[in-house]
Structures are given as structure tokens and as C-alpha cells.
């Protein structure tokens, strides 16, 4: 620990499977139970997964209206999620949670919020790197229809003051993109929280199963180290109605080291006392952005989307 340490009790509350037959109320009961456990272990902030209230429904093709009626939230908190917000306020614990958002105008996003220790929403993020496809592929073993059900997030990557911690957020596939962490680090983020639903099988190529976990860990560890911040990554995992997703939820330090990792593919809480000053050495030396970054040589990053000809 550094001499100027500032600590945050940081937890990840991994969710085991949520089946099509599970109600919102049942799921919120599981979230509340894990919030209590995290609090009893010293957590001041708890990270829940992406789309944490329902099964990972983008694997199923359906009419948008049917999806909106069954899987989307019209408000956050809403009637089913209010108990989670009430318990957070009672315990004085903040949290991050992902859900499918349907706006008053009928727009739909894959969304996450940061909630403060007083139970109020501090910040919102709408997923930017949407994976998958929008067309119907009935012959695939399962589909990945995020591009059908969600619009691209319209609020950028922002950093919020979460009860004294500079916190950024992203969702699942965003964690694989270096731009995500760098844009947050350039706003002096100290912690990035994220949730994910990562199928164990790839519908695009015959990817060895172990690579799914390898590339997940590689992404979050590199993001943490290269940007001098803590990363808390929460899976929804196990077999949802026969569709398996990876676990390996982790808390990663600014050194890039995994400090805590789940063992199961069930509901499981991991918790650390995160020294927020641990990133300072990196920020002051090897990754002193102001001193060493050379944005005049990075133009292609914003000028080009896909790869093109050499300059």
C-alpha cells in the first residue's frame, strides 16, 4: 500500500444463470442477497453484470415489441428493482447494474447505471461497441442479436464522482477495445466497472473454448495496467436454458494483476480493499500521459474506423 492510500471496498457480484422462467422479483432477491453479503465483507461498491435482470435474451429472435414488453425496463428504478435501491440506501452501499433500457420515446439501449450510497442514480452509460448481428439466422445454434435490439450508445464514455471515487463504466464487448479505457483514463478515472455475458461458444468460428476466458482476462488486465486503474468485471454465467456463458469475474489492480477471481459459475461475491492510490506511480512515471503521449501521431485512431492502406 502506498503512503497516500485511499481505499474503496470494491466488490463484484457474479450472477449464475437466469432462466426464461425466472421472474424479475426472484432475480432482484438474488441481487439483494449478494448486496448484503458484499456489505458484510466490507464492500462500499458492488458491481453487478450486464443485462442483470433477465436471461441473455439477445440470443433469441423475436419481434421488437415482444422483447420490449418482456425484457426491457421503462424506468430505473422500477417497481421490481426498487427493493435493490432501498437496500443499497439502507446499507450505504453503491452499485453498478446493467439492464435493457426502453426510453419514453421508444428507443432501446443496452444500459448500465452507477447508483450512489444514498440510492440515487449518479450516472448512466449506454453500450457503444454492440457485437453480433441484426439479421435472423435461424440455422445458428444460438443468435447474438444485440445489433437488432439496441441502438449504439449516445452518451460516450464518461467518468462520474461515485461518492468520492472517479468511476467510469462500460459493458461487455467494450472491455475488449483499448479506446474504452483510454477515453476514461483521460478523464482521470480511478476505477472502471463493467458487466458481461460472454457465450462460451463463438457462432463465427470454431474457437477453442479456453480462448474465451483467456481473451476476457487479457482484455481487462491490459486495460487496467495501460491506464493505471482498477477494473471490476462481473459475469452472468453458467448455463441459461442450455446456453453456456463463461464466468471468471475478476477484480484487477492498476498493476494488471488479478486480485480476486470467482471460482464458480453461480451467484458469487468477491471483494477487495482497493487502494485507489496504487495507480499513482504508474500515472506519474511509465504512463504519465501529459509527458509521454504523442497524439499528433495517433490521428488514424479517430480518422479511420476500419483498417486501410499504409500512410
Report, in Å, the least distance between residue 209 CB and ligand CDV. 13
Exactly one of 14, 47, 54, 173 binds ligand CDV (CB under 6 A); that residue is 173
Active-site choice (87, 170, 172, 268): 172
Site for ligand CDV contains 243 (CB under 6 A): no
Cell numbers given for 195: 458487466
Exactly one of 27, 102, 172, 270 binds ligand CDV (CB under 6 A); that residue is 172
Which of 76, 98, 267, 239 minimizes the C-alpha distance to 172?
Answer: 98
Known active-site residue 87: no
Cα radius of gyration rounded to whole Å, the chain: 19
Nearer to ligand CDV, 211 or 300 (CB): 211
Report, in Å, the least distance between residue 61 CB and ligand CDV. 16
Known active-site residue 50: yes
Site for ligand CDV contains 197 (CB under 6 A): yes
Cell numbers given for 157: 464514455
Site for ligand CDV contains 45 (CB under 6 A): no
Exactly one of 144, 148, 236, 243 binds ligand CDV (CB under 6 A); that residue is 144
Report, in Å, the least distance between residue 147 CB and ligand CDV. 11
Site for ligand CDV contains 244 (CB under 6 A): no
Report, in Å, the least distance between residue 144 CB and ligand CDV. 5
**Segment near ligand CDV (CB under 6 A), from 4-12, 29-37, 170-178, 298-306?**
170-178
Residue 230 CA to residue 257 CA, distance in Å, equals 10
Q: Give the x/- contact pattern for ligand CDV in 198-217, rule: CB under 6 A.
A: x-------------------
**Segment near ligand CDV (CB under 6 A), from 41-49, 88-96, 171-179, 182-190?**
171-179
**Segment near ligand CDV (CB under 6 A), from 97-105, 192-200, 233-241, 270-278?**
192-200
* Main-chain dihedrals φ then ψ at residue 192, nearest 5 degrees: -120, 130
Known active-site residue 172: yes
Per CB under 6 A, contacts with ligand CDV among 78-137 are 131-132
User: Active-site residues: which are they?
Assistant: 50, 127, 172
Q: Which residues lie near ligand CDV (CB under 6 A)?
A: 50, 131-132, 144, 172-173, 176, 196-198
Amino acid at each position: 500500500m502506498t503512503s497516500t492510500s485511499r481505499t474503496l471496498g470494491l466488490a463484484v457480484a457474479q450472477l449464475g444463470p437466469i432462466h426464461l422462467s425466472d421472474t424479475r422479483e426472484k432475480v432482484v432477491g438474488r441481487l439483494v442477497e449478494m448486496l448484503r453479503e458484499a456489505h458484510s465483507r466490507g464492500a462500499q461498491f458492488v458491481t453487478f453484470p450486464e443485462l442483470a435482470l433477465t436471461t441473455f435474451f439477445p440470443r433469441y429472435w423475436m419481434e421488437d415489441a415482444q422483447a420490449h414488453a418482456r425484457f426491457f425496463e421503462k424506468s430505473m428504478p422500477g417497481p421490481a428493482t426498487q427493493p435493490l435501491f432501498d437496500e443499497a440506501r439502507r446499507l450505504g452501499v453503491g452499485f453498478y447494474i446493467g439492464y435493457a433500457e426502453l426510453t419514453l420515446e421508444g428507443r432501446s439501449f443496452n444500459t448500465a447505471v452507477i447508483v450512489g450510497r444514498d440510492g440515487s442514480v449518479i450516472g448512466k452509460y449506454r453500450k457503444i461497441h454492440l457485437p453480433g448481428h441484426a439479421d435472423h439466422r435461424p440455422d445458428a445454434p444460438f443468435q447474438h442479436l444485440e445489433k437488432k435490439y439496441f441502438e449504439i450508445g449516445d452518451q460516450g464514455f464518461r467518468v462520474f464522482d461515485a461518492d468520492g471515487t472517479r468511476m467510469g463504466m462500460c459493458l461487455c464487448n467494450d472491455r475488449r477495445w483499448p479506446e474504452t479505457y483510454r477515453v476514461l483514463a483521460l478523464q482521470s478515472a480511478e476505477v472502471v466497472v463493467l458487466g458481461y455475458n460472454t457465450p462460451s461458444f463463438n457462432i463465427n468460428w470454431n474457437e477453442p473454448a479456453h480462448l474465451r476466458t483467456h481473451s476476457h482476462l487479457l482484455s481487462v488486465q491490459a486495460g487496467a495496467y495501460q491506464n493505471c486503474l482498477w477494473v471490476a468485471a462481473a459475469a452472468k454465467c453458467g448455463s441459461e436454458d442450455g446456453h453456456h456463458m463463461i464466468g471468471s469475474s475478476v477484480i484487477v489492480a492498476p498493476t494488471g494483476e488479478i486480485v480476486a477471481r470467482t471460482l464458480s459459475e453461480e451467484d458469487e461475491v468477491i471483494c477487495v480493499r482497493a487502494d485507489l492510490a496504487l495507480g499513482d506511480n504508474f500515472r506519474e512515471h511509465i504512463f504519465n500521459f501529459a509527458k509521454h503521449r504523442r497524439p499528433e501521431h495517433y490521428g488514424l485512431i479517430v480518422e479511420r474506423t476500419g483498417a486501410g492502406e499504409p500512410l
